[in-house]
Amino acid sequence: MRWTRWACALLLCWGMQAWAAWPEKAVRIVVPYPPGGTTDILTRLLAQKLSDIWKQPVLVDNRPGGAAMIGSDLVAKSAPDGYTLLSTGAGPHAINISLFPKIPYDPLKDFSAISLLSVNPLLMVVPAQLPVNTVAEYIAWVKANPSQANYCSIGAGSPSHLAAELFKSMTGLSLTHVPYSGSGTAIIAAIGGVCSVLFDSVLSSGPQVRNGKLKALATGNRQRLSSWPQTPALDEMPGLQGYEAFTWGALLAPAGTPAEAITRINTDVTRILSLPDVRQRIEELGAIASPTSPQELDSFTRSEMRKWSKVIREGNIKPD
């Protein structure tokens, strides 16, 4: 028994020493989206700061495609050695499992949670020429103009689509879905009045509000954004209490990554997300820095799965 305890202590000590020296080579963070979006920008900011701490290159590897499942699956099947991480979001890790009949990985079992990175609120925007300035006025306009009542989204099954469906279900409105292939085309349609409303990220739709081409009626989170203090949250509206729709970013590792590595990365990420310059940059993107423990991220992901599963089921939503 004494030798067994000694051997266990020796192995524990060796494991701690091994991870104290980690990383000994470049670390790769896979982003399952194209360059330029909120997740990509935030990941590059994080990678730079991690590289400074770890004294090793931290490389961002964009692997878009397949509703963000190609990059996610790549990480799920990577070695759990701490050298391949995934910077992901709501679609591949909380929505796709209910949207598609089969996906190539299990969002919970095939990954080790590290930390939530950010919460990215959506703006509810309407064309500048639409004669409404509040959510209540928009609801009244829809009821008076049912033939023109539609909404754009950035794609079937996207957070933009589901946010609008949640709005529909809570208001009882009848709105026709007009899907587009990304924010760019959906915003152009909204500006042109092709659709009466769009739920989209602050990063992409915010500039069009500031230049007067769109009007922001509300944000999709439960508190007003410090960067948009005059724009109410939908949760403030009668009949919409409890409304919450946002995208989010999180950092994961392949399942089986040693706990020592998860703890080390989580500690460093939390420290970075607390830096004033990082928080300011994230706020400029229209997001909120939101570090968590691995356990909190796991619980959060499960709650997001439950929420969007209900919306997808009740709305009979299908992917493109």
In CATH terms, the superfamily for domain 26-120+247-315 is: Bordetella uptake gene, domain 1 (3.40.190.150)
CA neighbours closer than 13 Å in the CB half-sphere of residue 290: 18
Q: Give the C-alpha distances (Å, rounded to integers) separating 170 from 241, 310, 311.
A: 9, 13, 11
Q: Give the C-alpha distances (Å, rounded to integers) separating 46 from 14, 209, 250, 291.
A: 29, 28, 12, 12
Give the rounded distance of the alpha carbon of 24 from its chain centre. 30
Give the rounded distance of the alpha carbon of 301 from its chain centre. 11
The beta strand positions in 32-110, using DSSP E, are: 58-62, 84-89
Question: What's residue 134's pLDDT?
Answer: 97
Asked if 176 and 149 touch (Cβ cutoff 8 Å), the reply is yes
In CATH terms, the superfamily for domain 121-236 is: Periplasmic binding protein-like II (3.40.190.10)
Statement: residue 16 has pLDDT above 70: no
Average pLDDT, the chain: 92
Asked, colleague to colleague, whether 26-120+247-315 and 121-236 share their fold, the answer is yes
Domain boundaries, the chain: 26-120+247-315, 121-236
Asked if 227 and 283 touch (Cβ cutoff 8 Å), the reply is yes
Question: What's residue 14's pLDDT?
Answer: 47
Statement: residue 4 has pLDDT above 60: no
- Interatomic CA distance for residues 76 and 72, integer angstroms: 6
Tens-place pLDDT, residues 41-61? 999 999 999 999 999 999 999
Give, for 218, the enclosing helix (H) or strand (E). Answer: strand 214-219
191 token code pair? 């500006």
- Interatomic CA distance for residues 310 and 188, integer angstroms: 30
Tens-place pLDDT, residues 71-118? 999 999 999 999 999 999 999 999 999 999 999 999 999 999 999 999
Statement: residue 11 has pLDDT above 60: no
Go through 118-150 and write b for each residue having 16 or more CB atoms within 10 A of its CB, e for each that does not.
bbbbbbbbbbeebebeebeebbebbeeeeeebb
CA-closest candidate to residue 163, choices 214, 107, 112, 122 = 122
Statement: residue 19 has pLDDT above 90: no
Does residue 179 sit in helix, strand or coil? strand
- Interatomic CA distance for residues 180 and 138, integer angstroms: 22
Tens-place pLDDT, residues 29-38? 999 998 988 8
Place of tokens 């964009």: 62
* β-bridge pairing 84-89 and 111-127: unpaired
Give, for 41, the enclosing helix (H) or strand (E). Answer: helix 38-54
Torsion over CA: 156, 160, 166, 168 (sign) = negative
Statement: residue 203 has pLDDT above 90: no
Tens-place pLDDT, residues 116-146? 999 988 999 999 999 999 999 999 999 999 9
Statement: residue 196 has pLDDT above 70: yes
Whether the model pTM is above 0.85: yes
Q: How confident is the model at residue 222 (pLDDT cuts 50, 70, 90)?
A: confident
Tens-place pLDDT, residues 135-192? 999 999 999 999 999 999 999 999 999 999 999 999 999 999 999 988 889 999 999 9
